[in-house]
Structure 1
Amino acid sequence: METILIVDDTPENLMILSEILKPFYTVKVANNGLKALNLIAAGHIPDIILLDVMMPEISGYEVCKKLKNDPLTRNIPIIFVTALSECKDEAEGLSLGAVDYITKPVNASIVLARIKTQVSLIQYQRNLEQKLAERTEEIVLTRMEVIRQLGRAAEYKDNETGTHILRMSAFTKIIAQKIGLDNVRAELIFLSAPMHDIGKIGTPDYILRKEGALSAEEWKIVKEHPLQGAEIIGNHQSALLQTARVVALTHHEKFDGTGYPYGIKGFNIPLAGRIVAIADVFDALTSKRPYKEPWSVERAVAYLTSERGKHFDPELVDAFLECMEEITTIMAQFKDAPQKAFDALHVKR
């Protein structure tokens, strides 16, 4: 059953639309745009969004812009439901990427008909994507291998064995599935995660391999690698490469806004970046590095817990910790046959 998110600041409107849709769909509600964005950022991604325009703090138009700028949410059909009835209002909504525009007061039969049309398109698109995926598996595997090897190039430069990117990528998929992302979105994050540190290709070896503390100037150079990674990946139509660019750019941002390169805070950090941050740090802590011995799992878990709401998204930390049995299993599997374990996770649906 498809999930419909209704976003409106008027309780009566939420009730009316909910009563119309509940017999046929799973319904979620948010009484303002920020709550809707936070709900989606937390991984509760709907199939369709019914979005009011005139709301306090952030308008429906702004909500739509934010969703359309994120590769993980840009394809969610958005239908504006509003009292604004001028042609220019409808034109503006459609220009932002909405698929339809319904004026208030709503008519139940019209709402259901418009939703049914979008559901049919969603189902058609999913069937098409499934057939395309079946026919292009070799292309997908080739692309995955290229991305993985580029990621390994960065890790080798950083005095790593290359297994770091395999483990942390596996962790990202576990988190993504735990918070309820569908297979397509979970796979996008999983396959793009190996590119998170691709920007280190542009960082001098003497800094990456230094065993002592970095100087202020050296640390400044290191902090440039997210920007360099985004530049290396570039801008592409491919959802995979778009996600890889987001991951490279934002995996060092922190939930409290003290990260880099931009100091983005909270749910303004893209979901993919927040997920990769946890997976990357946990594996780094539990791995041997030139400057440290590996931490125990228990010590690393304690660190993640202490950084809830500071370095990391607290809800994602909780999701990760709920999967520790699966995480430790993955760690054991990657010690013996890392490539086999990684490929097995890729084909797991």
Structure 2
Amino acid sequence: MAIAIVDDTPLNLTLIQALVRKLTPPGTEIVCFTSPLAGLDWCANHEPDLIIVDYMMPDLNGVEFIEAVRKQHPADVVPILMVTAAHEKEVRYESLGAGANDFLTKPIDRHEFDPRVRTMLTLRESQKRMRSWNDDLQQAVLRQTADIVARERETITRLARAAEYRDPETGAHILRMAHYSRLIAKRLGVDEALCDRLLSAAPMHDVGKVGTPDHILLKPGRLTDDEMVIMRRHASMGHDILKGSSSPMIQLAAEIALTHHEKFDGTGYPAGLAGDAIPLMGRIVAVADVFDALTSARPYKPAWEIERAVDFLKEQRGAHFDPACVDAFLTDWHEVLEIRRRFKDDDA
């Protein structure tokens, strides 16, 4: 424990220190100040377990001292005992209003001083113990939350893998587009927690393809109009698979599955949404997914050169894609190339 005593009279300091010493265990730090300014400076850099302060002092009186301390330490953290020779009720009211927890009048009566100080120290110790319990509880909650998030991510990863088994797209594509999506979101100023959630949810964008027939999903050539209608159902199917979850991460995955094929000009599917009516995460994933699909080889097409894919993004800026998402993606290009380097198809 650390106890601060502030009184401009050295004799009073000695007396109060001796009284406090008898009430506290060995090792208690008791610091004394004849200057209230020096005491205030010490309190600014420490969290005392009790402050005992005189009322009549130069530079700052006891009430002014307490008001200054309360700006550093809230009333529910550091207890303060005011000692005053004044018997006027106004002084007592002023002291309590400034943030004092209790007060004593001079000359100090030991039989009154001892139980009051002992009570304040006992309450302070209980408060610190409660704070420690709260910290332990918070850490336990954080650990449990981390476990839940890990299980959610595992679920999403396994569902994404299930879709991969039926889709010619590779696992590396899913990793690249997820990291591209996070990169775009970060550059748009999305908060860190949502960026991380997007990284985990984006791989689920095409989970609805598990319901697409093989003869359409794996067809090496161009789809007919009728086949395209069936193919486009995967957006709604993915949403149906994921919707209704209490998990924010899976809720986001459901939103992305439903909206990542919408186009900024309203010509996309399944709902023909346009502009800001398309959720931001869907607009972000649209850029990331299309860019990586274009630059990746598929059984039905060779990979595009990066420059050609970049030109396509620029051409479709404001048509297929949200201009802000395209601009964010094309900023600081070396980060995009680093993601491509980290997640190669050969390493899938």
Classify the secondary structure of the residue corresponding to 1:186.
helix
- Deviation for aligned residue 1:149: 2.2
Instruction: Determine which structure has greater relative contact order: mean sequence separation of CA pairs < 8 Å that are 6+ residues apart, divided by chain length.
Output: 1
After superposition, residues 264-283 of structure 1 pair within 5 angstroms as 264-283=273-292
Q: Distance in 2 between matches of 1:263 and 1:227?
A: 13
Deviates more, 1:270-279 or 1:133-142: 133-142
- 8 A Cα contact 1:285 1:295, kept in partner: yes
1:133 to partner: Cα distance:
4.1
**How do 1:278-293 and structure 2 match up within 5 A?**
278-293=287-302
Following TM superposition, by how much is the alpha carbon of 1:130 offset from its aligned partner in structure 2, in angstroms? 8.8
CA drift of 1:236 comes to: 1.9
User: CA 1:249/1:129 → structure 2, altered by over 3 Å: closer, same or farther?
Assistant: farther
SS across alignment from 1:290: coil
State which of 148, 172, 175 in structure 1 corresponds to 2:181.
Answer: 172
Question: What is the deviation of 1:144?
Answer: 0.9
Which residues of 2 match residues 137-148 of structure 1 at below 5 A?
137-148=146-157
Compared CA separation, residues 237 and 333, structure 1 to 2 (3 A): same
1:317 deviates by 0.3
Partner SS, residue 329 of structure 2: helix
In structure 2, C-alpha distance between the alignment counterparts of 1:245 and 1:190, rounded to whole Å: 14
TM score, norm. by length of structure 2 = 0.58
CA deviation after TM superposition for structure 1 residue 266, in Å: 0.2
Matches within 5 A, 1:298-313: 298-313=307-322
1:40-78 CA distance string (max 9 Å, x none): xxxxxxxxxxxxxxxxxxxxxxxxxxxxxxxxxxxxxxx
Q: 1:236 aligns with which of 232, 238, 245?
A: 245
Task: Say which of 328, 335, 339 aligns to 1:319.
Answer: 328
Whole-Å separation in 2 of the counterparts to 1:252 and 1:333: 26
SS of equivalent residue, structure 1 residue 219? helix
Q: 1:312 to 1:155 in 2, by over 3 A?
A: same
Q: CA–CA distance in 2 between the matches of 1:129 and 1:232?
A: 34
TM-score (norm. length: structure 1): 0.58
Judge conservation of contact 1:175–1:320 (CA < 8 Å) in 2: yes
Query: Structure 2 stretches of 5 or more lacking a match?
Result: 1-136
Matched letter for residue 259 of structure 2: T
Q: How much does 1:237 deviate?
A: 2.2
Larger Rg: 2
Residue 253 (1) aligns with residue 251 (2): no
Native 8 Å contact 2:275 2:322 kept in 1: yes
**Letter in structure 1 aligned against 2:240:** E
Q: More displaced, 292-301 or 140-149?
A: 140-149
Deviation at 1:152, TM superposition (A): 2.3
Identity of aligned pairs, percent?
A: 51
What CA deviation, in whole Å up to 9, does each residue of 1:193-239 have, x standing for no partner? 01100100000011111111111110000011111111111212221
The more displaced of 244-253 and 152-161 is: 152-161
The root-mean-square deviation of aligned C-alpha atoms, in Å, is 2.0
Give the paired residue count: 212
How far apart, CA to CA, are the structure 1 residues paired with 2:294 and 2:310?
A: 10
Distance in 1 (CA, whole Å) between partners of 2:343 and 2:223 is 31
Instruction: Determine helix, strand or coil for the equivalent of 2:344.
Output: helix
1:335 and 2:344 equivalent? Answer: yes
Is the 1:199–1:228 contact (alpha carbons within 8 Å) kept by the matching residues of 2? yes
Quote how far apart the aligned CAs of 1:156 are. 2.5
Aligned-partner Cα distance in 2 for 1:162–1:170: 13
* CA deviation after TM superposition for structure 1 residue 190, in Å: 1.3
- Displacement of 1:335: 1.9
SS at match of 1:221: helix
Q: Distance in 2 between matches of 1:138 and 1:265?
A: 38
1:158: Cα distance to partner? 1.3
1:188 aligns with 2:197: yes
Q: Return the offset for 1:132.
A: 4.1
Contact 1:235-1:242 within 8 A present in 2 as well: yes
